Amino acid sequence: MNLQCETCPVRDSAACAVLTPEERDAMAAAGRTRTLRRGEMLFAAGDEDAACATLVSGALKVSAIDADGNEQILALVHPSGFIGELFAPFAHHDVVALTESKLCTFARGDFERAIDDHPALTRALLRRSQEDLLATRALLELTGHASAEARLAALLHDFAAAASQSSCHLAAEFDLPLTRGEIANMLGLTIETVSRKLGDLEDSGAIARKGKRGIEVLDPALLHDISGR
Amino acid sequence: MNLQCETCPVRDSAACAVLTPEERDAMAAAGRTRTLRRGEMLFAAGDEDAACATLVSGALKVSAIDADGNEQILALVHPSGFIGELFAPFAHHDVVALTESKLCTFARGDFERAIDDHPALTRALLRRSQEDLLATRALLELTGHASAEARLAALLHDFAAAASQSSCHLAAEFDLPLTRGEIANMLGLTIETVSRKLGDLEDSGAIARKGKRGIEVLDPALLHDISGR
DNA sequence: CGGCAGTTTGACACAATTCAATAACAGTGG
DNA sequence: CCACTGTTATTGAATTGTGTCAAACTGCCG
């Protein structure tokens, strides 16, 4: 399907927002929208000419499979995020939809041409790339030293912050975008530990569990405190 | 001191290599060289207007200090690497010299101007930024699931690869650029565990220790095997 | 020589994993 | 609607890898 930039929910926040309307229309002609269902893969590690894409809605995970076949989640992608390995000959990681997701995809070659033609776009991607770098380093910091409970508290805190649009406040209630197994993979823990520590956090009064996915933040300050940041 | 690009050892591999000689000379006029001794800091987390720099020789570490005052090393910077938070209002991490290091520094404003003026430079930085991202994710992958011994083996493997110029072969012998404490911080372990596991690796015949800093790789295949990648 | 920073080694404690069993749930089809 | 099946989550008990604490050792520089 062709792109409909006029009605795109991330038209002001995605990388393409820096383009003039004319430039944007030119790019739109090369792009296609695509919808992924939960669990569907955008591309796999090793793929050549993996597509470039902007996430319009939903959520993706970037993950690697280690030697023993265990998945490790390296990053989450939220709407207006960019995905694509522009300079590597092949993709280094898998990219999979966590929920039903809409993307705006471009062939690698088309996107590289756009970068050459539009310095502002390159600049926007550089900015985004640096933000990704900071996010990855934040995760590294977290998984490096912190206890299981602190890691989990920090992740819940981040999710709560992401769920509320007003970056400074936490959402009082939200649904986990990840299964227990995915949370475990992301934090370098096991499913069982995640389950147990969620129980502990509930006992401590920081959160309440609403069914399998739902989380209610009862005490944001306590949650922040446990996360140790 | 003014820049001497003609004799710069990284003039072909650093970001500025993409500039024409004229453009490069223009940039050189805005830059200054700087030498850091081991332990000296380029900038600290929280600094405003932290400088941008290309590492000419030596090695740097990028690290964060967590709530309890523990250092966590997030990345190492090798010659031709770029350091600088271009879009953030302040630096997120500390940057410290691991060995005597020569850098080529620019004021933030000057560098931002250069980016606006030279699309090729922006592109080069984007490429570098993506490589940094991959390197950080590789470290994340490592510290996520692997055992202490596997982490250490992988780190030694990386160092041995970095020490030999011919990327595909390992150096037979090299000096650790990090103290035990720094290795521990980087891998999310303790000094004691690093020390013990180094002993185990020596017992297994993979390596031999030559004094405090020196490492001899006796069995590269075994080392790679233990690292589990 | 003494002092200091970095390293190694040992004994012990504990947090998180592993193994194992049960429970809640989401689909699917009768 | 309910039973059936696979997936995901919870809970328990035992194990173990790594951290913690403490002490001794090394090399180096003043």
Q: Which residues of B are less than 8 Å from A139 in CB distance? A: 140
Q: Residue A150: which nucleotide is closest by CA–C1'? A: C15
B145 within 8 A of A193, measured Cβ to Cβ: no
pLDDT at position B67: 84
Place of tokens 């031709």: B80
In chain B, where does DSSP find H-type helix? 21-30, 108-117, 119-145, 148-163, 180-187, 191-203, 220-227
The answer to whether residue A1 scores a pLDDT higher than 70 is: no
pLDDT bracket for residue A3 (50, 70, 90): low
pLDDT at position B166: 77
Estimate in Å the CA B103 to C1' C22 gap, whole number: 61
Q: Which residues of A are less than 8 Å from B76 in CB distance? A: none
Residue A11 gets which letter from DSSP?
T
In order along its 229 residues, chain B shows pLDDT tens digits of 666 788 999 999 999 999 999 999 989 999 999 999 999 999 999 999 899 999 999 999 999 998 888 999 999 999 999 999 999 999 999 999 999 999 999 999 999 999 999 999 999 999 999 999 999 999 999 999 999 999 999 999 999 999 987 778 999 999 999 999 999 999 999 999 999 999 999 999 999 999 999 999 999 999 999 999 8
**Domains of chain A, start order:** 5-136 (2.60.120.10), 146-227 (1.10.10.10)
User: Tens digit of pLDDT for each residue in A162-186?
Assistant: 998 777 899 999 999 999 999 999 9
State the Cα–Cα distance between residues A21 and A19, nearest whole angstrom: 6
Cα-Cα end-to-end distance for chain A: 44
Residue B177, SS3 per DSSP: coil
The mean pLDDT value for A12-26 works out to 93
Inter-chain touch A228–B67, beta carbons under 8 Å: yes
User: Tens digit of pLDDT for each residue in B1-34?
Assistant: 666 788 999 999 999 999 999 999 989 999 999 9
User: Tens digit of pLDDT for each residue in A74-128?
Assistant: 999 999 999 999 999 999 999 999 999 999 999 999 999 999 999 999 999 999 9
Interface of B with A (CB under 8 A): 62, 64, 66-68, 70, 72, 74-75, 85-88, 92-93, 115-116, 119, 122-123, 125-127, 129-134, 136-137, 139-141, 143-146, 185, 188, 228-229
Estimate in Å the CA A179 to C1' D11 gap, whole number: 18
Residue A155 distance to chain B (closest CA, Å): 15
Interface of A with B (CB under 8 A): 62, 64, 66-68, 70, 72, 74-75, 85-88, 92-93, 115-116, 119, 122-123, 125-127, 129-134, 136-137, 139-141, 143-146, 185, 188, 228-229
Cα-Cα end-to-end distance for chain B: 44
